[in-house]
Amino acid sequence: MGLRSDEGPDRKKHPAFRTVQANRARIVDEWLPIKDWAGTSRCSCSLCVFASKRDILLSIGRRPRLAAFYAEVEQVRGDSFRADWRITDLIRHAAQCEAPDPGVVCPDDGAEFTVLQDQVRAALEKEPRKEPDLARRRGRAMCEGCTVHS
């Protein structure tokens, strides 16, 4: 089950592993593999536009090839990852400033990722359905004294 301790006081009370039922016929255990998992503040897609800056920086470290692909799309379309942050600035910030240790790094080197890239690149060759406007807005600084975004 995908319960995490920091998602609520009731979830914090659950042990990570417990035997729910045990008799002569069977044993039923409950295991919460991510209960005490340290990582993102919420379970969501990699590089979610609704994520916090820390979570995005963590995802950039965990999935660098995906982050670079987002940057490619941003560059081709001329639009921003979010109204306040460009993915290219976030990638640069993760490399030059404080970024959380990603722990596990996903290489994204499978055939599925290559198929995804091919499909997205084919779509990028078509005219956009709307005029990009997010990129015209000024983003915000990543951290105090950060020169990455200038």
What's the total number of domains in the chain?
2
pLDDT value at position 120? 96
Q: Which residues of the chain fall short of a pLDDT of 70?
A: 1-4, 33, 35-38, 133-142, 144-150
pLDDT value at position 38? 64
- Up-side HSE of residue 93: CA atoms within 13 Å toward CB? 27
Note down the domain range covering 91.
53-136
98 and 64 share a domain? yes
71 and 34 share a domain? no
CA-to-CA dists, residue 47 to 20, 36, 52, 90, 147, angstroms: 36, 22, 10, 11, 23
126 and 59 share a domain? yes
Burial class (CB in 10 A: 0-12, 13-18, 19+), 82: middle
84 and 117 share a domain? yes
65 and 103 share a domain? yes
88 and 57 share a domain? yes
33 and 78 share a domain? no
Q: How far apart are CA 92 and CA 87, in angstroms?
A: 9
pLDDT value at position 144? 67
pLDDT value at position 66? 96
19 and 65 share a domain? no
Q: Does any domain span residue 29?
A: yes
Q: Does any domain span residue 44?
A: no
pLDDT value at position 1? 59
33 and 69 share a domain? no
Tokens of 91: 């990638």
